[in-house]
Amino acid sequence: MTENYVIFGKGEMKQLAAFVAELQRLKVRFHIENQTYNIYVHIM
């Protein structure tokens, strides 16, 4: 099984909002690193 990671920076909130909506539609789990505001997405 491969794991793909997508990292968003602080300046990409618009893309992030659309991406999170897509994640919720696809029921993909994600974890938010609060200190860096980076989001690591696990595509199952």
Domain ranges of the chain: 10-41
The residue behind tokens 């909002």 is: 17
Tell me the three state secondary structure of residue 26.
helix
What does the alpha-carbon distance between residue 44 and residue 42 come to, in Å, rounded to a whole number? 6
Whole-prediction pTM value?
0.32
Per-residue pLDDT, 37? 47
**How many Å separate Cα 8 from the centre of its chain?**
7
Cross-strand partners of 38? 33
What confidence score (pLDDT) does residue 7 get? 62
**Per residue in 10-40, pLDDT tens?**
666 677 777 777 777 766 555 555 554 455 5
